[in-house]
Structure 1
């Protein structure tokens, strides 16, 4: 089958996706985010029973607040969908009842859910209909990431109204203190005016005390929100040094300031492996984004992770390291690191071994090259696939990766896209893909200035480890969760990760696939991989797509322009 000639008609699923476009709001522009950078919310595409669902959860950036839940039923007959938040700390027993989502035209359901507390949580969807009952768990990190400032005009209006109410209340107190002592027809005594003034003075003093106490409470609450609840990303110290003719990357958790508030506390002994790795570290050279590495540093101790750097050119690199904690809290750690240049012989280069067999890297052209250049990533005008703009790039094994079904040369911010990529061999025939870390593929999307980063999977924007942790917690009947012994837990995880490294590739992928059934996302054709995503803001983006073929990790890189929807 030739992937360029295939897919001549748009599938019904993609047609239905068009109806979902208007539902995806523009995402936050903040650099601070917990599970990724600059892309708030969760997008999930799942097959459960006879239902295929496309789910969007946009959590609030101020907690307590409401999360916007949207479910599009791509396949299956649904009568109703209920949703409720479940927190890791309280579990199923401490969760509220389901709120019924409102059906909105073509198989679309919407609703708002209150998230009352910060931390690791999930949205449980209960689907009911002629095709059976099913439940879906969507991991959500509910964290306060913003402060709301009152508009100046509103503040002045409220201040004026408050002052008027205070004046009226003092006047009423003074009048009641004086007029209340007179009988009908009785002449007012000479001390009446003084009594009125005394009453007004006492009333004013009481009101001042009340307002002072209220102000103190308000300031304390605001400080608690800012210092205790407002999300603060974990700080790390990253360095690259030359040791024995090899460069070593060290990532150390910075515990400075621990104890100042729960926002900065992390249980580093309780890390969970995601796709069999405790950490997924992505290095991208700036400013051209022309060198890329997907590494899996080893844990040396609770706070230190190390990895041998591959044959990357020297320079300044952006670092994004994804980790997941026992509570299901997923976090992206960010830093910059200066990688020293290293001149080595061809023999030394050939004998160099990565820290992890699944490490991969690519050096390519920088962003900004002309669109009609040959074998470079910015190829929006490179080809037409079934009447649509397409892009292709040569892979390291001689095969070609093709960006299928690209709606237009310039994409729109806030719209949900199904990013679909196919691989063809040198003869243009479909090239079968193998699982990579238990999945059909991985993708990394980065804005040119580094302020938007996301690690994508075929099922969406969330972590397998987070889903597994929350699913197991919901199955636990205990109202509260008690952490096990930290040392034993850490050792058991290290043993599991080490065992995975010794397994043959087939057995390793089988074990990983079994451990994350919720992330199964089989493609109809075995040479394709797809990722649902909504670009959160306009700008230039680079996309790295990673697949595996004949035991080799292959990385395709594509550039695209994203404009504000109002400008298109």
Structure 2
């Protein structure tokens, strides 16, 4: 019970955009002939500076530039580039800051110059004010003392200017002159008080407005209902909360990511020993629904990723109680690619009963078997400990049952997916082989940069939503191969006979995910790949400590 309350407190305090508890953006890709890994840490106060680190993994770069591009104003309204400085002693690493002046969906455009010519790369970014900065107590008292001193000096100078300035040498103030001095000093003091009061009121008003426009995550409520003997999960988004500054029309501008309107992840707490990746259907603007697979009963963490046309991504969070399944009832699926697995609880002996959907958890440097008899090896040292905040390549190699390299099929337009969850549920991220960025966001912002309109104009909510619903319905009717090819091409991937590549990155039977664990703790990684038409899930645990410990 205490762990559950801790989770609820952490989730309620964490921003819901992009992911949960992991605000940084890590993206790997090609900028012309250069292969880059970019790590962007956005500010929690806007205006503010984003910390940008660029790792040039291939190519000889001599100069790296960066600038922000906001979705609303696009490339036409973007500022000039700022140069990133080479990091001393780190070959191919550049670091610097980018000023972000507007809330909302934006991107950092990277421009690189070197021996292989020029290249560009766009890193989607959600920039929102999520915190207030308190003035340090010492600074506050110092400024107060200086302000009082200035008031005293100002009042004294004004009093002297209307009395002492009229005296000749050796003269003293007459009673009338003294009264005039005190009168003017009183007037000056009142004027200073009024000025200070006006300034304080203006500051308080500005602070209230700032708090009003601080990011407030959308709230959603998950429930499980019975329909024709089936357990049906429903997630309803609350649009009545004025704090979020978004209404029902906002939800009409959602777009699919990898062909799905929502990616829903359910993880049983506290052991993280049951996992499902579902794709609910949109029933109306605020309601999503999906049949539940054969998950065991218990309390589950809910993470639902949704995506706006502007590139703004959010994760809806909740907890639900899933009741026992009625024995003998045939299980329906909302989407053919909905999956689930059961595994051993975190930090407990591996004593789970093996059945058709049970996998055993692994660690770095070990292998774990998949449901079809193939297995995955997490490349790395046994018992490896990761440092918080440091980017890593989480590399996995998939092998067929006979030990040969497995042939992976595209899964939702990519070589694979992964979900990373901290033991207390306070960190969640949906990873792709290119990083933490949702492909819908990357595509949306690239298209916006190509658009020459200074201010973006959107279609009417109903028209936009209907067009998206028709698009998703058409995708669902496509044969698997045709749909995967369409999704890969839509996301800028090259479709080949044996593998998929994204801007030159060939995965083959191996797959890697660039990621920086945000803070210390225990994490569970749910890796998903597709082989012989079946989505397979491998589960691994990672231990993370603060850097330098």
Shared fold per TM-score greater than 0.5: yes
Query: Which residue of the partner structure matches residue 366 of structure 1?
Result: 345
How far, CA to CA, are the matches of 1:161 and 1:264 in structure 2? 46
Are 1:188 and 2:170 matched, yes or no? Answer: no
Structure 1 residue 185: deviation in Å?
5.3
Structure 1 residue 525: deviation in Å?
5.7
Q: Is the 8 A contact 2:342 2:359 kept in 1?
A: no
Query: Which residue of the partner structure matches residue 238 of structure 1?
Result: 222
Q: Deviations over 1:171-207 (max 9, x none)?
A: 2222222112334555532222222211211111001
Q: Deviations over 1:2-60 (max 9, x none)?
A: xxxxxxxxxxxxxxxxxxxxxxxxxx996224100001111011123311001111111
Structure 1 residue 131: deviation in Å?
1.2
Q: Deviations over 1:370-399 (max 9, x none)?
A: 48999964544xxxxxxxx51221111111
Any idea what SS the aligned residue of 1:191 has? helix
Q: Is the 8 A contact 1:85 1:95 kept in 2?
A: yes
Query: Which residue of the partner structure matches residue 126 of structure 1?
Result: 111
Structure 2 unaligned segments of length 5 or more: list them: 1-10, 494-500
Q: Deviations over 1:133-163 (max 9, x none)?
A: 2211110101011111122222222222222
Any idea what SS the aligned residue of 1:155 has? helix
Structure 1 residue 279: deviation in Å?
0.5
Are 1:548 and 2:530 matched, yes or no? Answer: yes
Are 1:271 and 2:246 matched, yes or no? Answer: no
Q: Deviations over 1:214-248 (max 9, x none)?
A: 111111111111112x1110011211111111011
Query: Which residue of the partner structure matches residue 227 of structure 1?
Result: 212
Query: Which residue of the partner structure matches residue 518 of structure 2?
Result: 536
Are 1:400 and 2:379 matched, yes or no? Answer: no
Are 1:252 and 2:227 matched, yes or no? Answer: no
Q: Of residues 309, 313, 326 in structure 2, which corresponds to 1:326? A: 309
In structure 2, the CA distance between the partners of 1:529 and 1:440, relative to structure 1 (3 Å rule), is same
Query: Which residue of the partner structure matches residue 87 of structure 2?
Result: 104
Q: Of residues 323, 327, 346 in structure 2, which corresponds to 1:344? A: 327
Mapping 1:94-493, distance limit 5 Å: 94-105=77-88, 106-184=91-169, 186-228=171-213, 230-258=214-242, 262=245, 267-345=250-328, 348-349=329-330, 352-370=331-349, 377-380=360-363, 390-406=365-381, 408-493=383-468
- Cα-Cα RMSD: 2.2
Q: Of residues 36, 41, 51 in structure 1, which corresponds to 2:24? A: 41
TM-score by length of 2: 0.92
In structure 2, the CA distance between the partners of 1:366 and 1:253, relative to structure 1 (3 Å rule), is same
How far, CA to CA, are the matches of 2:526 and 2:187 in structure 1? 71
Any idea what SS the aligned residue of 2:239 has? coil
In structure 2, the CA distance between the partners of 1:406 and 1:166, relative to structure 1 (3 Å rule), is farther
Query: Which residue of the partner structure matches residue 6 of structure 2?
Result: none
How far, CA to CA, are the matches of 2:166 and 2:209 in structure 1? 48
How far, CA to CA, are the matches of 2:107 and 2:311 in structure 1? 9
In structure 2, the CA distance between the partners of 1:75 and 1:214, relative to structure 1 (3 Å rule), is same
Structure 1 unaligned segments of length 5 or more: list them: 1-27, 381-388
Q: How many residues align?
A: 526
In structure 2, the CA distance between the partners of 1:376 and 1:566, relative to structure 1 (3 Å rule), is farther
Any idea what SS the aligned residue of 2:321 has? strand
Q: Is the 8 A contact 2:107 2:124 kept in 1?
A: yes
Q: Is the 8 A contact 1:33 1:39 kept in 2?
A: no
Q: Is the 8 A contact 2:302 2:317 kept in 1?
A: yes
In structure 2, the CA distance between the partners of 1:302 and 1:261, relative to structure 1 (3 Å rule), is closer
Q: Deviations over 1:450-502 (max 9, x none)?
A: 00000000000011111111111111111111110211211111111111111
In structure 2, the CA distance between the partners of 1:311 and 1:371, relative to structure 1 (3 Å rule), is closer
In structure 2, the CA distance between the partners of 1:90 and 1:217, relative to structure 1 (3 Å rule), is same
In structure 2, the CA distance between the partners of 1:158 and 1:187, relative to structure 1 (3 Å rule), is closer
Any idea what SS the aligned residue of 1:67 has? strand
After TM superposition, where is structure 1 displaced by more than 6 Å over at least 4 residues in a row?
A: 263-266, 371-376
In structure 2, the CA distance between the partners of 1:235 and 1:505, relative to structure 1 (3 Å rule), is same
